Amino acid sequence: MLGALLILVESYWFFASKYRNISDTAGGLDGNEQAFLFIAAAVAATFSLLVVSSIRNWSMKVESKLTGLSRLRNSNYIYLLLSLLGKK
């Protein structure tokens, strides 16, 4: 509930506080720049999520005979990545 409330309040504050529709010729972001920033943010968020969850679940280092995403039930992402890279 708190997360949903923060998203709603922040969105209202950002869009209602002042006029933010600025064209790229007047100093705003153009489409290519927005796409690059979105992709960079998505990659950074995914990387951060994997690192934080692996550190939080560091004690989960069980070797499993399962394959694919099913291996993540008993282990963390960094441990599986290192074990896969070590076998090649």
What distance in Å separates the CA atoms of residue 77 and residue 79, rounded to the nearest whole number? 6
Give the three-class secondary structure for 74.
Answer: coil
Rounded CA-CA distance 75/63 in Å is: 7
How many angstroms separate the Cα of 61 from the Cα of each of 1, 24, 52?
33, 49, 15
Could you tell me the CA-to-CA distances from 11 to 7, 34, 47, 53 in Å, in that order? 6, 18, 25, 27
Give the CA distances from residue 85 to residues 61, 73, 80, 81, in Å, rounded to whole numbers and listed in that order: 15, 19, 9, 6
pLDDT at 87: 64
The 10s digit of each residue's pLDDT in 16-37 is 877 777 777 787 778 888 889 9
pTM over 0.85: no
Please tell me which of 28-32, 41-45, 78-82 the model is most confident about, judged by mean pLDDT: 41-45
